[in-house]
Chains A and B, each alone.
Chain A
Amino acid sequence: MALKHKTPMLDELTKGPWPSFVTDIKRVAERKPECDDLLGLLELSYKDKEGHWKHGGIVGVFGYGGGVIGRYCDRPDLFPNVAHFHTMRVNQPASKFYKTDVLRKLCDIWEGKGSGLFNFHGSTGDIILLGTTTDQLEPIFYELTHELGMDLGGSGSNMRTPEGCVGKARCEWSCIDTQDIIYDITMRYQDELHRPMFPYKFKFKASGCPNDCVAAIARADCSIIGTWRDKIRIDQEAVRAYVGGELVPHGGADGPEKRPLDIQAEVIDKCPTKCMEWDGKNLKIYDEDCVRCMHCINIMPRALRPGEDVGATILVGAKAPILEGAQLSSVVIPFMKMEPPYEEFHEFVGRMWDWWMEHGKNRERLGELIQRLGLREFLNAVGLQPDPRMINTPRYNPYIFYDPADVPGGWTRDAKAYRERHQP
């Protein structure tokens, strides 16, 4: 079947070695008129150099406030099959492992009731079903829950779908059970995930080690990053094997060739705290100076491993620029064991959310509220004591907000006594 819309500009994107989304959409467009219209609309955007989607409307499934994003095109006169083209977010299994039977069933549902187009996956981690009509939302939701055992993810001012790295499922460095933590958070806060109740979005992400493969420190309002408190485990024989050229440095990340590792230049000199020494036979690590950056472990994965006293550093407040500028997460709990049932963590989350919901303005992320009211206010609210691990440096301005309770006599002054000591 010939496609209705000519797409000469988009056709240029069918060329080249990288997989082409245009080629992919085109083959579905042969049998799905909405995909044909989607290509036509996109071609119009390429011509106009402006997008052609309107703001989302209020659509969703009954009882949920999130998980569906309404989408309407602004040229339904030209492209009636994408007049309504809503997005559904499906909560992905932690770390995105799948079995083909579930993916095939998902394809069947989505071929029948939607556009047949996905994002695998969206930026926050959900499987994105890209384009359906209002009347299909409930049937799709019913089939997702009944046939696949899958549920919608978050959108709007709610907890967004949490995400974690591959963790203990397939990584030797994971200091925490990221899958279990993410699953626990997701299940415990289903209400917060599906029914907007916050000032704005709230994201949890968990990475198993400071390499931070899900970018938790840059993207999550609450970042859970695995770490350890004791010593790096060393296999001295394996260190010698790297230096002797018997093992491939960096796990082969720079190429599969075995070559003698220049341990001084490639490991010791790259250590941020210079906490290592190599005497030609043994590697000495002064663990008290180590900041657990992972570089030496990354370069010699068969010789070095994280320690055994493992847990997580909890950081808060990361976000992209809108509104107050981009922020990274800041350390608030340097170490927490993070063992099931994670009660200590959840108590912290409860206090954090209470404070944010009480003080946060509309569309104010947690990190922005902390910036506005100060980290001390936050620490007070969640019951944490100050710790030098929370800062890069103590302040260098002298403008300290003191509490009257911290000053003898409070802020009450005896004017008469003052004037007895000083003439006006």
Chain B
Amino acid sequence: MPFDPNDIMKDRLTDIGPPKYDKFFPPIVKENYGKWKYHEILEPGVLVHVSETGAKLYSVRVGTSRLVSVDFIREVCDIADKYCDGYLRWTTRNNIEFLVTDESKLRPLIDDLKSRSNWFPIGGTGASITSIVHTQGWVHCHTPAIDASGIVKAVMDDLFEYFGSHKLPAQVRIALACCLNMCGAVHCSDIAILGVHRKPPFIEHERVQNVCEIPLVIAACPTAAIKPKKVGEYKSIEINEARCMFCGNCYTMCPALPIADQDGDGVAIWVGGKVSNSRVPPMFSKLAVPYIPNEPPRWPTVVKTIRKIVEVYASDARRYERIGEWINRIGWERFFEKTGFEFRHEHIDDYRLAMTTWRTTTQFKF
């Protein structure tokens, strides 16, 4: 029964949820569910998982731009049909994994992927830089301070050698969020690219009472910098600008408080976060560079800054040390010395719980 625009309740299905997880499992996964014994990375981007039953599943991992078209997905399907009996999966970091059970198809698949211009870079396993998880940026979001896809493209072009190789001390996870909302949850990444505003919002007094719930706007401010105020005949608000830390939360609640600004906005770079529990507990990313101006289309300063971090880390860290572990070993004074980044007042926390980040020991390095 086709859709009837005049009777949308007809044959309506709701709350059916996603397809059950095993509907798209290849037979080898169904048969060996929970029986996997070990895995090995045969070469960068190529994994084999071996089951207690002796079954072997090969996965070829390729990076993607995340923002993709139907043409791209159809090409992906052609490849999966040809070599993988139509089965494939995506990883949490927006890589595609082509799943191969017939070993004789593995090399032809790899050769085929490599023959398709630069659409299907193979890599992203082990001690590499895998696809950058990111948000929408200027492509489709309403609060961004920066673009997302464009910066990611520029950074990955520059770091491409680290995607298809295992030459780093450990994996380096880069993530981008285009504003402090952090839909991309970059706050625990080895390297985080974060869009920041630096000017308080301005107030369109004539619009506020028409498009905003004033009590919600007031409640939305984490520093209580917003108060109600009558401006002429308009019910509006006033902002104590000295208390604004540019989070943009008020703009999210009220579109009559624009915060984006071509001179105010830009990029902050954070380092040393991780989520895994291996060796040391999960860590937050910390501020490395407070501000880099927006430089579309190729964002050269962002690219150069991230390359600097990666190169200093790669030459200085010990095997298995994540960026945060390396920094904890050498100390922040050495981190700034080795990278050449300027240490500024912005690096010293002055928000809530700031004291927990100040040095309360004479143990430091000259």
Contact B65 A252 (CB under 8 A): no
Residues on B with beta carbons closer than 8 Å to the beta carbon of A418? none
A119: which of B67, B279, B284 is its contact (CB, 8 Å)? B67
- Chain B 81-122: CB-based contact to A (< 8 A → 1; otherwise 0): 100001111111010100000000000000000000011110
A99 to B187 CA separation, bound complex (whole angstroms):
33
A-contact bits for B212-237, CB 8 A (1 contact / 0 none):
00001001101000000000000000
Interface residues of chain B: helix, strand, loop or mixed (majority): loop
Smallest distance from the beta carbon of B246 to chain A beta carbons, Å? 12
Contacts of A170 in B (CB 8 A): 29, 36, 49, 57, 59
Asked if A294 is at the interface of the complex by the 8 Å CB criterion, the answer is: yes
Closest A residue, CB atoms, query B137: A51
Which of the residues B90, B167, B185 comes within 8 Å of A219, measured between beta carbons? B185
Q: How large is the interface on B (under 10, 10 to 19, 20 to 34, 35 or more residues)?
A: 35 or more
**Which B residue sits closest to A303, measured CB to CB?**
B38
| Chain B, residue nearest A35 (CB) | B69
A194 partner residues in chain B, CB cutoff 8 A: 14-15
The one of A10, A250, A295, A325 that contacts B351, using a Cβ cutoff of 8 Å = A325
Residue A342, interface by CB 8 Å: no
Which residue of the partner chain B has the closest CB to A177? B34
Determine whether A94 belongs to the interface, using a CB cutoff of 8 Å to chain B. Answer: yes
Q: Is A324 on the interface with B (CB-CB < 8 A)?
A: yes
Beyond A12-B297, A322-B249, A325-B353, is A120–B89 a contact (Cβ under 8 Å)? no
Tell me, rounded to whole Å, the shortest Cβ–Cβ distance linking A314 to chain B: 15
Of B19-27, B309-317, B338-346, the one contacting chain A is B19-27
**With an 8 A cutoff between CB atoms, is A260 at the interface?**
no
CB contact list, B294-316 vs A, under 8 A: 294, 296-298
- B81 smallest CB distance to A (angstroms): 5
A94 surroundings in chain B (CB, below 8 A) = 18, 21
Cβ-defined contact, A116 with B69, below 8 A: yes
Q: Is B71 an interface residue (CB 8 A)?
A: yes
Contact A295 B133, beta carbon cutoff 8 Å:
no
**Nearest B residue (CB) for A250:** B126
Residues 319-366 of B contacting A (Cβ, < 8 Å): 319-320, 351-353
- Tell me whether A284 is interfacial, beta carbon within 8 Å: no
Min distance, Cβ B360 to any Cβ of chain A, angstroms? 13
Which residues of A lie under 8 Å from residue B182 when comparing CB positions?
A: 320-322, 326
Q: Looking across the interface, which residue of chain A has its beta carbon closest to that of B64?
A: A19
Residues B21 and A179 in contact, CB atoms below 8 Å apart: yes
Contact call B260/A51, Cβ cutoff below 8 A: yes
Q: Is B177 an interface residue (CB 8 A)?
A: yes
| Interface residues as binary, A98-112 with B (CB distance below 8 Å gives 1, 0 otherwise) | 111111101100110
* Residues 35-60 of A at the B interface (beta carbon under 8 Å): 35, 38, 42, 45-46, 48-56
A255 at the interface (CB under 8 A from B): yes
Contact with A along B1-33 (1 / 0, CB 8 A): 101010011011111111111111110010001
B160 close to A18 (CB less than 8 A): yes
Chain A residues within an 8 Å CB radius of B163: 18
A285 contacts chain B at the CB level, 8 A cutoff? no
Q: B204 contacts the other chain (Cβ, under 8 Å)?
A: no
Residues of B within 8 A of A96 (CB): 89-91
Within the complex, which residue of A53, A55, A186 is in contact with B18, where a contact is CB–CB below 8 Å?
A186
Contacts of B241 in A (CB 8 A): none
Is the CB of A85 closer than 8 A to any CB of chain B? yes
Least CB distance, A292 to chain B, in whole angstroms: 8
Within 8 Å of chain B (Cβ to Cβ): is A131?
A: yes
| Binary flags per residue of A104-144, CB closer than 8 Å to B gives 1, else 0 | 10110011000011111101110000110000001100110
Complex: how many Å from CA A151 to CA B12?
12
Q: Is A118 touching B68 in the complex (CB atoms < 8 A)?
A: yes
Known interface pairs A119-B66, A131-B140, A321-B182; A99-B24 also in contact (CB < 8 Å) = yes
Question: What's the Cα separation between A169 and B1 when bound, in Å?
Answer: 36
Q: A130, B19: Cβ atoms under 8 Å?
A: no
Cβ 8 A contact of B149, one of A21, A186, A191: A21
Q: Residue of B at shortest CB range from A24?
A: B69
Contact of B275 (CB < 8 Å), options: A63, A145, A218: A218
A312 to B363 CA separation, bound complex (whole angstroms): 38
Residues in A with CB closer than 8 Å to B37 are 172, 302
B24 touches A17 (CB 8 A): no
Which residues of chain A (161-187) have a CB below 8 Å from chain B?
Answer: 163, 165-166, 168-172, 174, 177, 179-180, 182-183, 186-187
Q: A138 touching B154 by the CB < 8 A rule? A: no
Residues of A within 8 A of B118 (CB): 16-20
Q: Which residues of B contact A62 (CB under 8 A)?
A: 8-9, 12
Question: A54 CA to B143 CA in the complex, in Å?
Answer: 9
A50-B138, A251-B38, A321-B182 provided; 15 other pairs, C-beta below 8 A?
A19-B65, A24-B65, A50-B260, A64-B14, A99-B87, A107-B70, A120-B90, A211-B277, A251-B126, A252-B166, A253-B127, A271-B279, A301-B38, A320-B186, A326-B188
Q: Write 7 A-B pairs (CB below 8 A) sorted by A numbering.
A: A10-B150, A49-B296, A117-B67, A149-B19, A253-B171, A256-B42, A322-B247
Residues in chain A within 8 A of chain B (CB atoms): 9-10, 12-13, 15-22, 24-25, 27-28, 35, 38, 42, 45-46, 48-56, 62-64, 71, 85, 87, 91-104, 106-107, 110-111, 116-121, 123-125, 130-131, 138-139, 142-143, 145-146, 148-151, 163, 165-166, 168-172, 174, 177, 179-180, 182-183, 186-187, 190-191, 194, 210-215, 217-219, 248, 250-256, 266, 270-272, 292-295, 298-299, 301-302, 320-326, 328, 361-363
Which 4 pairs of residues, A with B, have the shortest CB-CB distance? A253-B126, A16-B157, A320-B182, A252-B41
Q: Please list the residues of chain B having a beta carbon within 8 angstroms of any beta carbon in chain A.
A: 1, 3, 5, 8-9, 11-26, 29, 33-34, 36-43, 49, 57, 59, 63-74, 76-77, 80-81, 86-92, 94, 96, 118-121, 125-127, 133, 135-144, 147, 149-150, 153-154, 156-157, 160, 163, 166-167, 171, 177, 180-188, 216, 219-220, 222, 247, 249, 255, 260-262, 265, 273, 275-280, 282, 284, 294, 296-298, 319-320, 351-353
